[in-house]
Amino acid sequence: MTLLANAPTSASELLEAMTAAPPAQRARLRDKAIEAWLPLARHLAHRYAGRGEPTDDLIQTATVGLIKAVDKFDPERGVDFAGYAIPTIIGEIKRHFRDRTWSVRVPRRLQELRLAITEANSTLTHSLGRSPTVPDVAVHLGISEEDVLEGLEGARAYNATSLSTPISADGNTELGDTLGGEDHEFEIAETRVALGPALATLDEREQKILTLRYYGNLTQSQIADEIGISQMHVSRLLTKALTKLRNQLDAGL
């Protein structure tokens, strides 16, 4: 590779020197080694450009992979640094794409499971000559059918659908139109459940006054004419009945 041929001849020597250098010198040698191999990281980042992620982000991700490779490289294993660094950097870039391209964040386990299922589908479709079933995939991956189904369900988070997507033939109805709004009735559902027993604690006249006022929408004067008492008396009974109800509801909630 031309790129590797153009890399500084001292780059590998810097890495070897790091292992034997005292702490005071090791940090300086580490920085020089990273700088010497940066062209490799940039080259690998540009290979993945044009796939929806900013090039600067890819270069930054590749640099993180390079730093990990420099920190974990062991010259005594007999592997040249380029052979160790390249898969490390590419792995970091692929993780970046895997994490960034999921529209809804899901656990890493499900992301990896989704990738494994996708690869298994491709392999089994070729070998079986048909689309594989869930049991086929489970046997191939050595996992349970429940795990396969979980992975398939998690895969739905890979892409999101815009709420502006038309869903009717005339295009006038969008996906967002089908979403329910906030129902404030839920806030008073508990109160309504408790209201029946609370009303039962009132006497017959108090219940009638409340019914005429809040269900019949009658005024206090109209209620007075209906029952045959004064409007002032209706007001006192109404206040008394509401106080009883409030006390009952406060005690029960």
Q: Give residue-wise pLDDT tens across range 51-90.
A: 777 888 899 999 999 998 888 887 777 777 888 888 889 8
Is the pLDDT reported for residue 11 higher than 90? no
* Nearest-5° Cα angle at 197, 193 to 203: 140
CATH of the domain at 112: 1.10.10.10
The structure tokens listed for 36 are 């010497």
pLDDT attached to residue 2: 42
Position 175 confidence tier, pLDDT thresholds 50, 70, 90: low
Helix, strand, or coil (residue 174) = strand
More confident call, 211 vs 150: 211
114 with 83, same domain: the answer is no
Least confident stretch, 28-37, 95-104, 146-155, 205-214:
95-104
**Angle 23-47/55-72 helices, nearest 10 degrees?**
140
Domain assignment present for 203: yes
Structural domain contains residue 44: yes
Q: Residue range 232-243: average pLDDT?
A: 90
Q: Cα(244)–Cα(202) distance, rounded to whole angstroms?
A: 8
**Distance between CA atoms of 206 and 238, rounded to whole angstroms?**
7
Give 166's DSSP letter.
B
pTM of the model: 0.40
- How many Å separate Cα 78 from the centre of its chain? 43
41 and 131 part of one domain? no
Let me know whether 85 and 118 are in one domain. Answer: no
Domain match, 28 and 116 both = no
Q: Quick one: 130 and 197 in the same domain?
A: no
Say how far apart CA 111 and CA 239 lie, in whole Å: 62
Angstrom CA distances, 131 to 125, 128, 140, 149, 253, stand at 5, 8, 13, 16, 57
Q: Which residues contact 87 (CB under 8 A, 6 or more apart)?
A: none
Domain residue limits at 144: 108-159
Question: Taking the CB of residue 14, how many other CB atoms lie within 10 A of it?
Answer: 22
Residues 85 and 141 in one domain: no
**DSSP character for 49?**
T
Q: What is residue 4's predicted lDDT score, i.e. its pLDDT? A: 42
Give, rounded to a whole angstrom, the gap between the first and last alpha carbons of the chain: 76
Mean per-residue pLDDT for 99-110?
60
Domain co-membership, 6 together with 78 = yes
